[in-house]
Structure 1
Amino acid sequence: MFIGQGFDAHRFAPAGSGKELWLAGLRWDGDGIEGDSDGDVAAHALIDALLSAAHLGDIGTLFGVGRDSVGAGRHGADMLRTTVAHLAEHGFVPCSASVALVGNRPKIGPRRAEAEAVLSDAVGCRVSLTATTTDGMGFTGHGEGVAAIATALVERCHG
C-alpha cells in the first residue's frame, strides 16, 4: 500500500463572471472558482494525492496546464474517474481517501454526505470530507478563495 498527499487552492471568480461554483463534485450557490477546469479544489487535491501515492506525477502531468489542456473545461468528478482509470492502467487501485477543505464558503456541513457520496463514487472507495476555516487569516480567511488538502491510500493490484 502507498500513501500520497495533494493540495490545491483557487481564488473565487469575480461576481457576475458567470463561473459556476463546483466543489467536492457538487454545484453550489454563489460565485464560481477561477481555473481552466471547474476549479474544484477538493477534486484536484484528491487527484494529486492519488497520483502521488502511485508515483505517477500530478494533475498537470495527467491533464496538462492551461486553457488548451486536456483538463480544460472538465468537472472534477469526471477528472477523478479519468485519474482512477489511469491508476488502473498502471496497476493501482484506490483504497481510502480524505479531503479537508479550507475556506469560509460554501458551508459544507449540510451537504457533506452528498459530497462524500459523489467523491466516493468517482474514486471507487470511501472518501471522507472535512472542512475548516482559518479564522480570518490569509486568502481563504479573507474570503478570496478556497483550498483543499487530500490524502489517499492506493494498493498495487495483484494478478
Structure 2
Amino acid sequence: MPNQDHILILGRDEVTQPLLLTDIPQSSFLLVQLSNLPPRDRYIRLPALTTNMVAAYCELPSVDVLVRERDWMHIVNLAITAEILQDPVVETTAITALKRKARAEKACTCEQAVHDHIRDFTRNTGGGVRIVQIMEEIWRNEKRSFISTTKERREEWKA
C-alpha cells in the first residue's frame, strides 16, 4: 500500500515502482490524477512499463541530450511511457528527439529490435499510433534519401 508521499506503479511482472509525489511530472494527466487520490488508492497496474522505462521518464533529459547520448530504443521507450502515462509534453519531447536523431544521423540506424518493440507495444496495448506514424515518416525519408543519393551517384558515374 502506498504511503502519504508516494504512488505505486505495478509494472511488468508485478514489479512495484514507487514514485514520490514531488517527482511526478505535472504534465502527466494519469499520474496527477492518481496523486490526487487518497493514499490507500494511489497505485496502478501498467504491465507495459518496466522499471527502466519509469526511471527514464522521471529523469527526462533535454532533446539535445536525448539525441546525443541516448540510443533509439531509449527514446522510443520514453515516447511509449509518455503515451501510457498520458503526458503530451514528454511525448512531444521524445518525438522531437526521434526526428532530430534521424536528421543528425542522416539515417535511421534502428535495429530490428526497435521495430519489433514498437510493433509489439502497438499490438499488446492498441496504443502507439503517434510513435508508429513518426517512425514510418523517418523510414520513408530515409528511403527517399537513399534513393536520391543512389540516383546522384549513377549520374556521377555516367559523367
* Structure with greater helix percent: 2
TM over 0.5: no
Q: TM-score, structure 1 length as denominator?
A: 0.29
Q: Which has the higher strand share?
A: 1
- Normalising by structure 2, report the TM-score: 0.29
> Which of the pair has the greater relative contact order for Cα pairs under 8 Å at 6+ separation?
1
- Higher radius of gyration, 1 or 2: 2
